Structure 1
Amino acid sequence: MKNASAARALGIDFGTSNSTVGWLRPGVDSLLELEDGKITLPSVVFFNMDERRPVYGRLALHEYLEGYEGRLMRSLKSLLGSKLIKHDTSVLGVALPFKDLLGLFIGELKKRAEAVADRPFDEVVLGRPVHFVDDDPVADQEAEDTLVEVALKIGFKQVSFQYEPIAAAFDYESTIEREELVLIVDIGGGTSDFSLVRLAPERRDREDRENDILATGGVHVGGTDFDKQLSLQGVMPLFGYGSRMKNQAYMPTSHHLSLATWHTINSVYAQKTVLALKNMRYDIQDTAGIDRLFKLIDQRAGHWLAMEVEETKIQLTHTDTRHLALDRIEAGLSVDLSRALFESAIAPLLEKVRASVRELLVNAGVLETEVDTVFFTGGSSAIPALRNSVAAMLPNARHVEGNRFGSIGSGLAIEAKKRYG
């Protein structure tokens, strides 16, 4: 029988920024290639107006940047647990429920995985953050229920979940040779998730790992939040953020906040937003910034700007400054963004991360000196200030870097094999 010893089920890491799919087979890397030979599919949908079709991943970003008319949707996972998930959005002139938007993307993951595997899949283990929503168990459960509903609608018959940092722990466990007390630090696009787990080669095949998981925790802080703060502190002042009104009050910030947040960028283009800004312009002391904002809106350049901010964040993990040219908006417009500015902008977020780690250790009854290993995964775990701030809390721990974009998907594949055979 074809692939007789392969797993029956998939593990899907539906991420805020990137997604992966794992399928466990003997002697083969578990992560499936989803686009152009790559294991990641950026969690992006572009509704191409010219050709009346949705496109996904890198191709979606390419068509958007090439100037095709249409609607770009990113950070789809951020819809889970939000009020937006119960509403519709306008796509290609038609009202599309946000749940169906999630179904389109997760359905595409299933379709691509089945094409690569050359077989259908009925069972899936989905990764989930420890908290979709902080301090709101009802909204958190609704987010998980929404994912179940979406997964069943696109054709899965059995759906279960594993915490993303636990999945990353199982991936790391497949590589170790002795017992370790490991703090998993998973910094994704939307959340920071942690687990404190006792791992060992002889524990790998156990069905019940509940006693090995000492604590889990997390906070709704991730890469898109870091992007947002960099945008607000470094870029949005060029577009009127922080401007003074004639009565000395600051210009309202809601439009800049929407522009700095991936899943709300499109709202800035709405006619009522433009009218509100035009009315506001008469009361602003210096109109240079708001006039640039109008240019950005006219060009529908919000997603382009957000991508430039994100790329700056990535560059600042290994350089001290990045020169950001904004000629697309206005000839000669540019700004130099520094790592120091970025680290200052995200300092309050890093404190939230540290507080979550401290709470995790207290809940587990483990001293900071007792942790053997810190395992970093997730795209935003590369940020030096974040790594250093967490590492400084655990003086005796060695630092291990997993596959930043693949550890969770690999761990979910291991879990899928255990659960479904």
Structure 2
Amino acid sequence: MSHASAPSFCAIDFGTSNSAIAVPAEGGGMRLVALEGEHTTMPTAVFYFVEGRHDADGPPRAFGRAAVAAYVEGADGRLMRSMKSILGSGLIEQTTDVGGGRGVKYSDILAGYLKRLRNTALASGAPGPLNKLVLGRPVFFVDGEPARDAAAQASLEAAAHKVGFDEVHFQFEPIAAAFDFEHQIDREQIVLVADIGGGTSDFSVVRVGPERMNRLDRRDDILANHGVHIAGTDFDRHIELASILREFGYRSFGPERAGSPPREVPSGVYFDLATWHLINTVYSPQRVAELRQMRSFYGNLKHHQRLMTVVEDHLGHELAGRAEGAKIAVSGGGDTVIDLGLVESGLEVALSETVAVQALEADIGRIVQAGREAVAQAGLRPDQINALYFTGGSTGLRFLAEKIAADYPQAQHVRGDRFASVATGLGLHAARLFSQ
């Protein structure tokens, strides 16, 4: 099919942590666009550099993994993440300082990211001009406030129009996630969609079936939705605290002093080192000087020495990355060894699935409860759930998926693409919508 006759539309999963775009494929169907190398998802992140000139698109910026890398490497500028969270808030039309004496509207930051996705898709050979769009949206941008929820969708639609999308439609993310499963069944079913990503764990009870498949308005098929702001980044933090940071003094004690028992070392620096967006605050000269003065607080001076190596050599993000890698390594069961030789030759720490489960027990409990509440809100019993559909990167944790599934022993367990099922489903919807 030539580009002149090819349909020109796309679908975007604009996520809190990662985003993706689907376009018509040669020969029919839809494909996900490779956004960075072979990656079909890109972190929803923009880094504004202090130095550099404006171009036609605005201040000098990096997107996705390049934006995160600029921040981690200490480039002078400002990182913007979780941009989806400002939708429905008063911030959307406010201007924020991005360094270098520059101010940018939050709405323009969001629009610039959407434009990057569209331009990358066009550069990949997608049939232009890609002026028709299906955007994913959560069941609620803002819980319990219909006016703000409507404003959130309107702001996202306005951003899309601003960067060249003439026709914009929305589809609910949990419905999109379930589309793949819907193609595989021959009767109507009730599905609990568990979408557990980097920032939130969301559960939706949806009705799917072959007779509903071609309906463009699926709002009535969402029977309930509930979620909690606990997910992958929280897991990484707890695992880093439970394993890696013990070797740097977390939960350790100071020396014995006459007449008083040893005191626990102050824990603030460890919580900051384990919280991605706070790591750079530990590197400020004032903070480093304060930590250097705390040497006498440590009963094991090796712990203090290792901590100072981390803050002076700016190794915090590397430790956080190794915690995430260890989480993934034990996600299917078994043990792993975390190499910390970048801090001290020969230093390593073991992590078992058992320790990981213990570290995440409270979070897992809250996530499982969120699923139960979604089913209860739908007015259903657990045995009325026909299928569990798992999507989102954190559903790769075996022990988490098993805990959720235990409440629904009669349900079929279905695993979608953990990172791209929503984008794929939105693409299917776009193909149906724009072919009519």
Letter in 2 for 1:407: S
TM-score scaled to structure 2, two decimals?
0.80
Gaps of 5+ in 1: none
TM-aligned CA distance change 1:233 to 1:377, over 3 Å:
same
CA distance in 1, matches of 2:69, 2:43: 12
In structure 2, the partner of 1:227 is 236
- Once the two structures are superposed, residues 328-353 of structure 1 have per-residue CA deviations (whole angstroms, 9 ceiling, x without a partner) of 11112111111111111111111111
In 2: Cα distance, 1:158 partner to 1:199 partner: 27
Counterpart pick for 1:205 among 205, 214, 225:
214
Q: In 2, distance between residues paired with 1:294 and 1:133? A: 42
Larger gyration radius, structure 1 or structure 2: 2
Shift of 1:270: 2.2
Q: Confirm whether residue 260 of structure 1 aligns to residue 269 of structure 2.
A: no
Change (3 A) 1:393 1:13: same
1:149 positional shift: 6.6
Q: Provide the C-alpha distance between the structure 2 equivalents of 1:347 and 1:234, rounded to a whole number of angstroms.
A: 15
Structure having greater relative contact order (Cα 8 Å, sep ≥ 6): 1
May I ask how many residue pairs the two structures share in their alignment?
Answer: 417
Letter in 2 for 1:115: A
Q: What is aligned with 1:273?
A: 287
State the match for 1:189 in structure 2.
198
Alpha-carbon distance in structure 1 between the residues aligned to 2:344 and 2:143: 40
Matches within 5 A, 1:272-351: 272-351=286-365
| Residue 43 of structure 1: how far off its partner (Å) | 4.4
Aligned match of 1:76:
81
Aligned residues of 2:194 and 2:390 also touching (Cα < 8 A): yes
Which residue identity is paired with 2:14? F
CA spacing shift, 1:72–1:413, aligned 2, 3 Å:
farther
TM-score normalised per structure 1: 0.83
- CA–CA distance in structure 2, aligned partners of residues 176 and 51 of structure 1: 54
Q: Tell me the distance in 1 between the aligned counterparts of 2:155 and 2:295.
A: 41
The alignment partner of 1:185 has SS state of strand
Please tell me whether the aligned partners of residues 22 and 409 of structure 1 are also in contact (alpha carbons under 8 angstroms).
yes
Any conservation in 2 of the 1:131–1:219 contact (CA below 8 Å)? no
Could you give the per-residue CA deviations for residues 6-58 of structure 1, whole angstroms, max 9, x where no partner exists?
A: 3x543222345542112356723332222334422344667899999755455
Q: Give the direction of change, closer, same or farther, for the CA distance of 1:123–1:244 in structure 2 (3 Å limit).
A: farther
RMSD: 3.8
Identity of aligned residues (%): 37
Aligned twin of 2:22: 22
* Alpha-carbon offset, residue 254 of structure 1: 3.1
Task: Give the 3 Å change call, closer, same or farther, for CA 145–273 of structure 1 in structure 2.
Answer: farther
Q: Distance in 1 between matches of 2:196 and 2:320?
A: 19
Q: Check 1:138–1:386 CA distance in 2 against 1; reply closer, same or farther (3 A cut).
A: farther
Structure 1: how far apart are the matches of 2:146 and 2:232?
A: 23
Cα distance, 1:187 vs structure 2: 1.1
2:409 paired residue among 380, 386, 395: 395
Give the aligned partner of residue 56 of structure 2: none
Cα deviation code 1:354-407 (max 9, x no counterpart): 111111111111111111111111111110111101111001111111111111
1:102-148 Cα distance to aligned partner (Å, 9 max, x none):
55544422221222214233454433445668899999888767756
Q: Deviations over 1:155-210 (max 9, x none)?
A: 55565654422220233323333222111111111111111111111211113323
Mapped to 1, the partners of 2:40 and 2:33 lie a distance apart of 6
* Offset, 1:415: 3.8
Deviations 1:53-81 (A, max 9, x none): 7554556678999xx76379889227835
Gaps of 5+ in 2: 54-59
- Displacement after TM superposition at 1:260 (Å): 1.5
Map 1:122-271 onto structure 2 (within 5 A).
122-130=131-139, 151=160, 154-156=163-165, 161-244=170-253, 248-271=262-285
Higher mean C-alpha deviation, range 281-290 or range 218-227: 281-290
Distance 1:154 1:310, change over 3 A: farther
**Per the alignment, in what secondary structure is the counterpart of residue 120 of structure 1?**
coil
3-state secondary structure, aligned to 1:184: strand
Mark the CA change 1:2 to 1:44 in structure 2 (over 3 Å): closer, same or farther. Answer: same
Residues 174 and 193 of structure 2 are in contact (CA less than 8 Å); yes or no, is this contact kept in structure 1? yes
